[in-house]
Amino acid sequence: MPHPSPSSHLKPLEAEYRPKVLTDVAGAIRYQQRGAHDPSQTTADGVIWRATRTPEGLATIAIRPGLRTVRAAAWGPGAAWTLDQLPRLCGADDDPGDFDASRHPLIAATHHRRPDLRIGATDLVFDALVSSVFEQKVTGLQAFGAWRWILTRYGDAAPGPTPRQMYAPPADWRMIPSWSWHRAGLEPPQSRTIVDAARRRASIERAAAAATTGDDRDRVFTSLPGVGVWTSSETRIRAFGDPDAVSFGDYHVAHQVGYALTGSRVDDDGMRELLEPWKGQRQRVIRLIGASGVIEPRRGPRLAPEDHRGR
């Protein structure tokens, strides 16, 4: 049963998007979801729901991917913005161009099998940055749990008849008290990074939008205290759909790339060397590796997350 909101009685704006090429729209959008219980994105009965805080205000968008046509409805002050932005979210501006998959048999086979793979972009720079900071140096479960805890308490209820209660990210991350960060499971360096960045939010968004290359955006993001190359790359991927961004500093990614391309683990330097022939399209190669189904056998027990919060 849809979850009513104060604006659920309002008639939504509607739009259709027809990709020019075969596109895995659902895959492009679902990449943006932060865990199975993300309060800002969910899927119900084949429809992807997203609650966002756009430059024009809160919005909820419901997206039904189709083989040739993507249908969407949106509610809230930012509804028109989300519908205008929908093609980029679906990966419309991600063009493989002259991508040379033939350099490795696994990449060639996966690219041939998955020509519909596209990298989507949200164009919501600050939210992408914050969600990346949440994921610094912790397990995915810890990060997703913290994201859920903060949004459900300090985010704004999504407009429209959402399938469950959903929340858009907070309007001002600086208003979250220190004890809440602790209860959410974030360490002080992470919360300080977010709060410090929130003070410069407008200038960060302007500078990142004006930048024309990944390196330029790296300089914008890594100029912030507590933001390194990993966080910058993750932000570039989510906000801009950057096909070349590589999350150096994430040993899982390096191990996965090394095992898929050579049969053995590598470190960051090894991954950089392996991906060098695809400079400009390195994130695409990482996505193709993920889509290949090749997974390194587990060597030990899964890491158990630590909980340092007071009871």
Average pLDDT along the chain, 311 residues, taken 10 residues at a time: 54 96 96 96 98 98 95 98 98 94 98 97 98 92 96 98 98 96 94 97 96 97 97 98 96 94 97 98 98 84 44 31
Q: Is 88 in contact with 23 (CB distance < 8 Å)?
A: no
Residue 21: other Cβ atoms inside 10 A? 11
- Kindly list the distances between the CA atom of residue 196 and the CA atoms of 130, 172, 258, in Å, as whole numbers in the listed order: 11, 12, 36
13-100 classified as CATH 3.40.640.10: no
Predicted confidence at residue 296, as pLDDT, reads 86
Predicted confidence at residue 67, as pLDDT, reads 85
DSSP string, 207-270: HHHH--SHHHHHHHHHTSTT--HHHHHHHHHHHH--TT---TT-HHHHHHHHHHHHSS---HHH
Tallying the residues shown for the chain, one arrives at: 311
CA 214 from chain centre, in angstroms, equals: 16
Q: In the chain, what are the domain boundaries?
A: 13-100
Name the residue type at position 32: Q
Residues contacting residue 232 through CB under 8 Å, at least 6 positions apart: 217, 218, 221, 222
* pLDDT tens string 111-139: 999 999 999 999 999 999 999 999 998 88
